[in-house]
Structure 1
Amino acid sequence: MDEIGVLREAFGPEEVPSQAAENRARAALHQRMSSKEQRVIRIDRHRRNRFVIAAGAAVAAAAAVAAVAVVVSGGDDRPPAPVAAPTPSSPARGVLPFARPASAAEYLENAAWTAERKPWKEPRPDQFMYIETLELRNKPAYEREHPNDPIKAGMGETRKIQDWNSIDGQTKASYKDGRLVVTKRGEGGDTWDRIAWSTITSMTSPDKVPDGVRGPGSMGIDLDAFIGQYVVPPNVQAAIFRHLAQTPGMTMNPDAVNIDGRPAVGLGRIIEGYLSQELLFDKQTYQFIGERLVAIKDHVTHGDDGDSVSHRGDVYRQVIYSKMTIVDRPGDTQ
């Protein structure tokens, strides 16, 4: 690995230092490499966060960042100018908690860390949560006849779904037969339940996030469903990820693939002994992008209407959240 590769390794997989910082690092390291000194660089890989390497003595670092020591034997031991380290005032230049997450808990901590750094403006009660999904489904005719079947080869298609729900829970909208239909609670006897915004915004830490979300209008909805049905503040999304990281039985499927073939990681739990219920995250950015339900082994389910056979790899549900944002009115998408 060359000197800039070492520098990038210290910053983590996504945080690239400025050009000025790279130039300083290259000049300093080339100066040391041109001498006859023998140097050993030791990087503490057992700490969560890494610090930027500087040749010479150990470099003073921000309290949250692990130190990287450089040991020099003989010769001039004056350290070169240190490379600028990430600072709390510039969160995009921070260091991920785990450079190479090896478990569901570590990956979820990276996802929480990433979520916390998203911009956010508290919405007004009359604004709307807009959620746009791409769902992999069987073709309508086949789905009507076989509603519980997995996605069949040659039968699957991607459907774009758009939903708007007001922050105050009093209005919803969606497209039906190509027409945007807006419904007010109580119109024509139509009613529904939505979790109160005050309940959502109260979930600011893992201990405040129950497995079944409780509070006004909640109906004890599972977190796996909740996270894709509501646009929540970044600190709430981070708290949910950290709560899930503490949940027994969470597994990581590094080979999950999302709806358009881009690499994704699946984090979830085994249900009924043969199905993996997974939340999907972008493999590079740790962004939450969707969910899926997939069989992890062959299984036969006995029922009154006959046996249902599942095969390893069968996908029963796969949804990608292509957009989740706050908008002013139904029909708005940004």
Structure 2
Amino acid sequence: MSTDEITTFRDARPEATPYDPGARARLRARLVDEATAAPHARPLGRRSARRRFVTVGVLTAALVAGITVVQNIDLSGRPTGNPATPGESRRPFLLGPVANAEDLAQAAAQQAAVEPDARPRPDQWSYAKTVLAMSSKGTGGSLFGPPDRRLTVEQWRRADGKQSATIEEGKLQIQNAAGAGASPRSDYPYLLSLPEDADALLDHVYKVVDEENGGEKESGTARADRAFQVIEIYMRDSALPSKLRAAMYGALARIPGVQYEAKAADIQGRPGVTLYRIVEGYLRDEIIVNPKTYEYMGFRSIAVKDHVSTGLDMDLHTKKGQILGWGGLLKATIVDRAGQRA
């Protein structure tokens, strides 16, 4: 981020923390994993609202600190460039018309069974290019309609989890990977260790949700809400083996309340289909999927009714149509070294 852009951001957000060059190194590794993490949905709880506030705050701090992975700003709200949809070059396997989440999961599993499912060597890297919605009026919580700004992020993660890399001010920066402290975990070795059976994977996800809640099971609705979000977080920012991705769709289809919509578009305007769930009765969490290759394309969280969440420090007022998170995966692949894109 250049000085002029920092000044512009500061003018729009005078309450934000002043620019600190020393924060760049501390926040670089946290930018994607924490700032773009889905909000932890909890019904009627101060804990839930506080987590939503922290998510926005971390992204704000990262921007003010001048962390640049890659910038791609468009003030018109139109898609920037014409990136290829992940996996578009693959020959699609069409099981037949897809009418619901179960059909989608079955089609993805059928394709995964007949295509190569090579896993990376420990010294190889997962490369992901992601675009996130921004707004000159704030980040996430003040967004209505198409974003007037977009932030494009590139990241590399070694398959053995030892290192990660981003682009900062046009230069590749490699750092030792931080410990797996976030919940849910989404570090690459952890993702590769997940079960490739849909039932086993969903059982694992529910255990993760229960551990987040101190080992206690929440109400059925709240537990299902969070399970949907956990799986979506798993799918972000990583080149996943096709069998594992298919298992994730299968697990999603088994979560009560998950719906399917045949016509959708991601943040770049690319056509897709959507798996979604209404969380806490007001927030529609969406996972957008390529209908030809069954690859993950992105996410969106949009309020379908007005809502007030009570937080530790303040109440969060959400209006119908407000977008609380929106991003798209432009490319995900396995490469031999950090900085390589194909």
Fold equivalence (TM over 0.5): yes
Partner residue of 1:309 out of 308, 318, 340: 318
Q: 2:300 aligns with which of 292, 296, 301?
A: 292
Give the 3-state SS of the residue equivalent to 2:120 in structure 1: coil
1:190-229 alignment, distance < 5 Å = 191-192=179-180, 195=187, 197=189, 200-201=192-193, 203-210=195-202, 213=205, 222-229=230-237
1:109 aligns with 2:109: no
Pick one of 309, 318, 321 that aligns with 2:329: 321
For 1:60-75, list aligned pairs within 5 A. none
Q: Work out whether residues 299 and 309 of structure 1, in 8 Å CA contact, stay in contact via their aligned partners in 2.
A: yes
Aligned equivalent of 1:123, options 94, 99, 120: 120
The answer to whether the Cα contact below 8 Å between 1:266 and 1:281 also exists between their aligned partners in 2 is yes
- 3-state SS of paired residue (1:133): strand
- Superposed CA deviations along residues 281-312 of structure 1, whole A, max 9, x for unmatched, are 1245433211111122333445553551311x
Give distance in 2, aligned partners of 1:132 and 1:309: 29
Provide TM-score, normalisation by structure 1.
0.60
Whole-angstrom CA distance in 2 between matches of 1:208 and 1:257: 31
* CA RMSD between the two structures: 3.2
Structural mapping, 1:23-62, within 5 Å: none
Aligned match of 2:63: none
Could you tell me how far 1:326 is from its partner in structure 2?
0.7
Correspondence for 1:234: 242
Residue number in structure 2 paired with 1:22:
none
- Secondary structure (helix, strand or coil) at the match of 2:122 reads coil
Stretches of structure 2 that go unaligned for 5 or more consecutive residues are: 1-89, 213-228
Q: Kindly tell me: are residues 281 and 113 of structure 1, through their superposed partners in 2, closer, same or farther at Cα, counting changes over 3 Å?
A: same
> Which of residues 172, 182, 185 in structure 2 aligns to 1:180?
172
Unaligned segments of structure 1, at least 5 residues: 1-90
TM normalised by structure 2 equals 0.58
In 2, the alpha carbon distance for the partners of 1:131 and 1:324 equals 4
Match of 1:268 in 2: 276
Asked if residue 162 in structure 1 is aligned to residue 175 in structure 2, the reply is no
Determine if the alignment matches structure 1 residue 278 to structure 2 residue 286.
yes
What is the distance in 2 between the residues matched to 1:328 and 1:120?
17
| The structure with more radius of gyration | 1
Contact kept, 8 Å, 2:133 with 2:326, in 1: the verdict is yes
- The one-letter amino acid paired with 2:274 is G
Structure 2 equivalent of residue 259 of structure 1: 267
CA-to-partner distance for each residue in 1:151-196, whole Å, 9 max, x for gaps? 24586322211011111101001122332210024xxxx5445647
What is the rounded CA distance, in whole Å, between the counterparts of 1:307 and 1:318 in structure 2? Answer: 19
CA contact (8 A) 1:211 1:223 kept: no
2:237 touches 2:329 (CA, 8 Å); kept in 1? Answer: no
Q: Which amino acid aligns with 1:296?
A: V
Q: CA deviation at 1:149?
A: 1.3
Partner of residue 135 from structure 1, selected from 132, 135, 142: 132
Give the distance between the partners of 1:119 and 1:154, measured in 2 at CA: 37
CA distance in 1, matches of 2:146, 2:300: 19
Instruction: Quote the Cα distance in structure 1 between the aligned partners of 2:238 and 2:263.
Output: 27
Cα displacement string for residues 219-238 of structure 1 (whole angstroms, at most 9, x for unaligned residues): 87921101114322221111
Greater RCO between the two (CA within 8 Å, min separation 6)? Answer: 2
Assess, with a 3 A threshold, how the Cα gap between structure 1 residues 275 and 154 changes in structure 2: closer, same or farther. closer
Q: Cα distance, 1:125 vs. partner? A: 0.7
May I ask how many residue pairs the two structures share in their alignment?
Answer: 230
Tell me the secondary structure at the aligned position of residue 246 of structure 2: helix
Cα distance in 2 for residues equivalent to 1:123 and 1:284: 24
| Counterparts of 1:202 and 1:308, CA distance in 2 | 37
Identity of paired residues, percent? 28
How far does residue 128 in structure 1 lie from its aligned partner after superposition?
0.6
Q: What is the distance in 2 between the residues matched to 1:263 and 1:93?
A: 15
Measure the CA separation in 1 of the matches of 2:263 and 2:290: 12
- Asked if structure 2 preserves the Cα contact closer than 8 Å seen for 1:201 and 1:233, the reply is no
Deviations 1:70-121 (A, max 9, x none): xxxxxxxxxxxxxxxxxxxxx958650xx22222222232233334444333
Secondary structure of the residue that 2:265 maps to in structure 1?
Answer: coil
* Structure 2 equivalent of residue 18 of structure 1: none
Deviation at 1:244, TM superposition (A): 1.5
Higher helix share: 2
